[in-house]
């Protein structure tokens, strides 16, 4: 079983390119954002808690996200692996993912990092909020907080995965969606 992590700042294009990767390599795309939005839409206790945290630009507690990921690994069959989008976001989550994959006699196959500058993050998230009507992306203050959170809590994973020999970076800007997708697919072929 392969376990790939799609990595990069908010708005880098992880979700945009995940479908092509999942289809080409028979992977199940697991977006923690989509899993959480489904819980929010269902109005579950987890969804209500997550809604309030996300609206403030904060992260959902690790144990909740880890439980959703483990449940997906255990229940989804007929795939050659998983493509994680939005997890791990912190060093403790990366360590938890290592434990989760080790319990399945495996490990993270590779981390595909799509990098864009902060100014482009602002532009893309604001545009996405307009197009998709996503309230969690609507305010400039929330976007700024998400970028700060990314730099403080998620960027340290670059060194973590680089030290493990699993980090592979792709330039996500400039370029068209097709150009960046080709860079991503080429990178995965090299892993």
Looking at 2, 28, 37, 134, which residue is catalytic?
134
Q: 2-190 belongs to which homologous superfamily?
A: P-loop containing nucleotide triphosphate hydrolases (3.40.50.300)
Looking at 51, 89, 124, 183, which residue is catalytic?
89
Quick: pLDDT tens for 3-36.
999 999 988 999 889 999 999 999 999 988 787 7
**Is 14 designated active site?**
yes
Quick: pLDDT tens for 70-87.
888 988 999 999 999 989
> How far apart (Å, rounded) are the C-alpha atoms in residues 168 and 148?
23
28: left (phi over 0), alpha (psi -120 to 50) or beta: beta
Looking at 14, 166, 181, 183, which residue is catalytic?
14
> How far apart (Å, rounded) are the C-alpha atoms in residues 2 and 22?
11
> How far apart (Å, rounded) are the C-alpha atoms in residues 89 and 111?
12
**Is 183 designated active site?**
no
Contacts (Cβ under 8 Å, ≥6 apart) of 159:
none
**Is 123 designated active site?**
no
pLDDT at 105: 96
What spatial distance separates the first Cα and last Cα of the chain, rounded to whole Å? 14
Looking at 51, 124, 146, 183, which residue is catalytic?
146
């Amino acid at each position: 079983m392969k376990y790939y992590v799609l990595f990069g700042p908010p708005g880098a294009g992880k979700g945009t390119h995940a479908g092509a990767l999942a289809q080409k390599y028979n992977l199940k795309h697991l977006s923690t954002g989509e899993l959480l939005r489904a819980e929010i839409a269902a109005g579950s206790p987890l969804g209500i808690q997550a809604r309030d945290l996300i609206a403030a630009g904060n992260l959902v507690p690790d144990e909740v996200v880890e439980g959703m990921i483990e449940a997906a690994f255990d229940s989804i069959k007929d795939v050659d692996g998983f493509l994680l989008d939005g997890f791990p976001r912190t060093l403790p989550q990366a360590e938890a993912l290592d434990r989760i994959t080790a319990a399945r006699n495996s490990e993270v196959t590779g981390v595909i990092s799509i990098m864009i500058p902060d100014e482009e993050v602002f532009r893309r998230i604001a545009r996405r909020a307009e197009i998709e009507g996503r309230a969690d992306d609507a305010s400039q203050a929330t976007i700024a907080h998400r970028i700060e959170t990314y730099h403080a809590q998620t960027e340290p994973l670059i060194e973590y995965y680089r030290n493990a020999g699993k980090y592979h970076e792709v330039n996500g800007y400039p370029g068209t969606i097709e150009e960046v997708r080709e860079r991503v697919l080429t990178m995965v072929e090299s892993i």
